Structure 1
Amino acid sequence: MSHNTQWREQLDALLDAFNERHASVGKGVSHSTREARSQGLYRIFALLRKLGFKPVPENLAERHVRALMAYWTAQPLPADVLLDIPMTIPRRAYPCSAAYIQQQMSFIRVFASWIGKPGLVRSAVSYVSEPRLVRRSYGALIDKGWESHGLAVDEVIAAVDAVDSHVGGQLAMMIAFGLRRKEAVMFCPRAAEIPAYALPVQHPRSDHYISFLRIKRGTKGGRLRYAAVRTPQQRQALARAHCLARQDWGHIGHPGLSLKQSLDLFSNVVRSVGLTKNDLGVTPHGLRHQFAGDLYFDITQVQPPVRGGELLIDREVMADAYRQVAEQLGHHRRQISNAYLGSPAGRRSDEVKLMGAAS
């Protein structure tokens, strides 16, 4: 097999054989995961050729991983790494983000298991002299909610309504209940709302609210979660969703469109009104950040750290609020709330520094 012309065919064969498998458990993975892996691995092997290598995919070796890490972190190639051909790409001026590097490493780690080299890829920090280059920070430094960017949520949704009322209704559900795009498109209002007494016995919030939404369609990994119905605005969004659903058990996406078509339509409509980082400075996902911050305020009556709110003296109360936000966003780990609310630890560190500077 030619190293130069047939590496794509070999990679295709490996993807066909293994890409539907989960990295660590015996189940399948979603289409989006398979697509991300496939694109990532093609990008990685194409980059290796620009860096001066021409490996057949099955011959991926430790020197290739070291070279990739050096490139992504904007470091010079290790002196002991021998090239196969001249490099055709310059060293990066700036490192890639830690999140991007960790994602690429996860692609390589999974791929290495496919070719019988499960120990090939070490932890990312072992390849660098500065751990900060590969350590992701999960604490939000700026609020990504729409209102913090000077946008009136109702006015923006009204602009979307003028283009497509179904997408407007989906955005209304996103801000009301923290839904993701896919969850909103697939939302079935009549199948979702349940009274608090119908919650699982172990659910910790069943005595705080009258009803909840049972959210499972379109969730990541099919994970079930419950979001409390707690405000008049949520009631309005639900009433609108009931009007959009044409049938008793229908969803609020466009009738007659496939899921992919509905998701594409959503993306096209929001772009048409400027809901991008380059135009209005926000994306639809910012509504989840808005929801998280508003929910935290409802629970604690204090703004979250990312909005400049004071830290709660009672750390247990604060931790419980972070846990509730994470649960209603569909995450099982309390720390995920840091990405939406800001990190309490980081805020305390900043306050200590300010006190030291003032003394």
Structure 2
Amino acid sequence: MSVMGDSNKLKRLIATIEAVCEAKGRTRVNGAVASERTFRMQIEVMKQFARTLHDKGYIVESCENLGERHANAVFDSWVHEKELSNKTLQNQKSRVKQFMHWLGKPNLADYVSRIDERYVDKLPQGFRVKTVAEESKSWRGAEVDIAELFSKARELDSRYAAMLMLERAFGLRKKEVLLIKLWKADKGDKLELVGEITKNGRYREVAIREGEYGQMQRQILDYAKGKCRRWESMAWPDVTLAQAEQRYYWLNRQLGLTKKDLGMTGHGLRAGHAEDIMLLRGVLPSTLGGTKDMASERGRTAARYDASRTLGHNREIITSAYIGTESNKPKPNASLGHRFGEAIVGFGEGEVLLWVSEKPEPVEGRPGESVLPREKAQLAYVTAQVVLDGREVDRLSVKQLVRKHRGIFADVEDRMQTIGLTLLAGE
């Protein structure tokens, strides 16, 4: 299973790796048969290991000769040069460790299990992956203009731009957006995902919502359908899935859609969709500064379940990776969105600041004015922050604010109207 361009010595190393995987990798630790996908991923990681090793000048021809210095060279490259994500590093470490056990080198396997200690200066937490989002991973947290992002993507590749739009509007994974056959999946009031394109082959429906948000979803769906023929998937028709994934990642880098450049990745569009679902249900997720007290338990539970189901997760807790966990205390790093209007004073101690989750857009021909158009108004969540001497002393929804201070209604309504909201719409 060699690749054109590999040297003969590298081919021999890969052949010994494949032989070990073939002999040991078909059966799980518990005796069950490993899936073909798991088996192939194991081989692929070890091929990456072999190629990286040779690239670094270690011309090993048999995996029997692997040792600690070889593991160090490979992981040094993955951490410092390729700067792989913690999630990827964790996966690579797990598979390399497993391979060393198959190879009959338990001491080397133990060494690999601790190899992240080698990078404590760069990665103080090791390769561990945070399973709960503390900050927004979407365009909101990164303060990215989503419309401008899509416009620039269209200039690069209109089919690629359609993929990004689908990820935002329907919360699709990268593999799903590449393999989905839109003409078949479009059921009018929902997008249907079936078969192997989804994670674990789990059937899923993504609803087309009511109101302006649903109109946005429909417009994106129709635009994307215009980029492919009726029988085609969204992936470019002249490439394999692996090649399509590489082109997708390459275009992301050209667009700057990386943590390093824009502060978010393509997956952040899926995270943003999870936030959308919460906001459409009138619940501010903790990644955007929401707390338990700002919505009823019933409302929070229903919103989180809706977001979980839409993303294709059976367990609601997994959705915490996108929208955080519920807490009585505000997340210290969470942005409340965009400040608007003058501070309100005269209601207890301190002053009241108003924030909106969506960024208002300038009104053409009316300098200094901005509004929340289209689906942004439907998504808008207004948060009231009570500040005393520059320090937050309370945080509540605008609905809670006007209930707590009856006389503040007119001041709040006046400020909300400046961005095109009514108090009822912003509750």
> Which structure would you say has the larger RCO, counting Cα contacts within 8 Å and 6 or more residues apart?
1
Corresponding residue of 2:215: 232
Secondary structure, in 3 states, of the residue corresponding to 1:344? coil
After superposing the two structures, state which structure 1 stretch, 148-157 or 254-263, moved more. Answer: 254-263
In structure 2, the partner of 1:306 is: 287
The worse-fitting range, judged by mean Cα deviation, of 287-296 and 268-277 is 268-277
- For 1:321 and 1:22, the matched residues in 2 are separated by 41
- Alignment partner of 1:28 is 2:31: no
C-alpha distance after superposition, 1:141-161 (max 9, x if no partner): 221211332222122111111
In terms of fraction of residues, the more strand-rich structure is 2
Distance in 1, Cα, partners of 2:300 & 2:105: 44
Distance in 1 (CA, whole Å) between partners of 2:249 and 2:86 is 27
Using the alignment, how far apart are the partners of 1:346 and 1:124 within structure 2?
Answer: 37
The two structures have a TM-score, normalised by structure 2, of 0.56
1:335 to partner: Cα distance = 2.2
Q: Does 1:114 align with 2:99?
A: no
Q: Give yes or no for the alignment of 1:148 onto 2:121.
A: no
Number of the residue aligned with 1:219: 198
Matched, 1:18 2:21: yes
- Where does 1:281-320 land on structure 2 (aligned, <5 Å)? 281-299=263-281, 301-311=282-292, 314-315=296-297, 317-320=299-302
2:17 and 2:311 map into 1 onto residues whose CA distance is 35
Deviations 1:272-296 (A, max 9, x none): 2322333333222211111111112
Counterpart residue type for residue 114 of structure 1 = W
What is the CA RMSD across the aligned residues, in angstroms? 4.6
CA contact (8 A) 1:305 1:347 kept: no
Task: Provide TM-score, normalisation by structure 1.
Answer: 0.65
Range with bigger deviation, 10-19 or 278-287: 10-19
Aligned-pair identity (%): 26
8 Å CA contact 1:102, 1:124 repeated in 2: no
More displaced, 111-120 or 100-109? 111-120
Give 1:1-359 correspondences, 5 Å limit.
9=12, 12-18=15-21, 21=25, 24=28, 25-29=33-37, 34-40=43-49, 57=63, 99=87, 102-115=90-103, 136-194=129-187, 210-216=189-195, 218-230=197-209, 231-247=214-230, 249-299=231-281, 301-311=282-292, 314-315=296-297, 317-344=299-326
d(CA) in 2 for partners of 1:246, 1:349: 46
Cα distance change, pair 307–348 in 1 and its aligned pair in 2 (3 A)? closer
Query: Contact 2:289 / 2:331 at 8 angstroms: preserved in 1?
Result: no
Q: How far apart, in 1, do the equivalents of 2:126 and 2:267 lie? A: 26
Query: Per-residue displacement from partner, 1:68-111 (whole Å, max 9, x unpaired)?
Result: 89xx9xxxxxxxxxxxxxxxx9xx9xxx9875664344214432
> Conserved in 2, the CA contact under 8 Å of 1:188 and 1:250?
yes
In the alignment, the residues of structure 2 paired with residue 255 and residue 290 of structure 1 have an alpha-carbon distance, to the nearest angstrom, of 28
Structure 1 residues without counterparts, runs of 5 or longer? 1-5, 73-88, 196-209, 351-356
- How many aligned residue pairs are there? 306
The offset of 1:176, in angstroms, is 0.7
Contact 1:194/1:213 (8 A) holds in 2: yes
Output the CA distance in 1 between the equivalents of 2:206 and 2:55.
44
- Structure 1's 275 and 134: CA in aligned 2 closer, same or farther, altered over 3 A? closer
Q: CA deviation at 1:139?
A: 1.3
What amino acid is the match of 1:302?
V
What is the CA–CA distance in structure 1 between the aligned matches of 2:309 and 2:238, rounded to whole Å?
A: 33
TM-aligned CA deviation for residue 177 of structure 1: 0.8
Structure 2: where are the runs of 5+ without partners?
1-8, 333-391, 394-427
SS of the aligned residue for 1:227 comes to strand
d(CA) in 2 for partners of 1:309, 1:151: 20
> Residues 103 and 232 (structure 1 numbering): CA distance in 2 closer, same or farther, change over 3 Å?
same
User: Could you tell me how far 1:162 is from its partner in structure 2?
Assistant: 1.9
CA distance in 2, matches of 1:7, 1:168: 38
Flag the 1:45–1:224 CA change in 2: closer, same or farther, 3 A: farther
